[in-house]
Amino acid sequence: MPIRAFLDPFAKHLLLTLMLLVSVTPALSLEAGAADDRPRIVAFGDSLTAGLGVATEDAYPARLQRRLDEQGLRYRVINAGVSGDTTAGGLRRVEWVLKSRPDIVILELGGNDGLRGLNLQETKANLERIIQRCQKASVTVVLAGMKLPPNYGTDYTKAFEAIYPALAKQYRVTLIPFFLDGVAGSASLNQADGIHPTSEGYRIIADKVLEQIKRLLHARK
């Protein structure tokens, strides 16, 4: 569960944030750099992946790319984040994502479903179908878990958080327990809306994502 400090900025800025998230624009065309023959990691998510509010080079996919380069891990990271995306939106564009022929997909979706109080059975079913389609295409999935602020009620927040480990276990995918671990609730690591990380917040996220996927990357060498 995110720390209590996450609640105040969330409550204060929720309406503003949802207004900002109405815009649905892909962060990067998957066709760019088609001649690049490195294995591809697609960061598939919402505004937390797109990098809403920070420069493109400060979003976590770009930071992850630099960290991979520094460590001599020859992969190309593609930012397929769409601000405002839900799991239903992700399901509609999964075939578009798979056109880039990724080796690994880091799936970060569901936060907007939870913030909007959507039906959790539908959220889980959408994530499940995305995972199934990726695995059918022989793509390795890394699932990023999400959490909600406590004012959504114990039953809803617990049921929401349980979706991710349940799917990770069922489909045997690598789980990032909480995508915003170490960042959520920190005023210095989040923008004014209290939800989207700052550049420094994304640095922390990229480092944690790398630690979670490094074993996968080394195994594929």
Residue type, 146: M
CA distances from 68 to 31, 141, 165, 218 (A): 21, 18, 26, 11
* Whether 46 contacts 84, CB under 8 Å: yes
In degrees and rounded to multiples of 5, residue 181 shows phi and psi of -55, 130
User: What DSSP designation does 145 have?
Assistant: P
Other CB atoms within a 10 A radius of the CB of residue 36 amount to 10
13 is catalytic: no
- In eight-state DSSP terms, residue 80 is E
Nearest by Cα to 151 from 106, 109, 117, 100: 117
Comparing CA positions, the residue from 143, 56, 130, 125 lying closest to residue 97 is 130
Catalytic: 138? no
Active site residue 47: yes
Closest CA to 131 of 148, 108, 115: 108
Catalytic residue among 46, 47, 58, 100: 47
Residue 213's identity, in one-letter code, is: I
Tell me which residue of 53, 65, 40, 125 sits closest to 90, measured CA to CA.
Answer: 125
Active site residues: 47, 193, 196
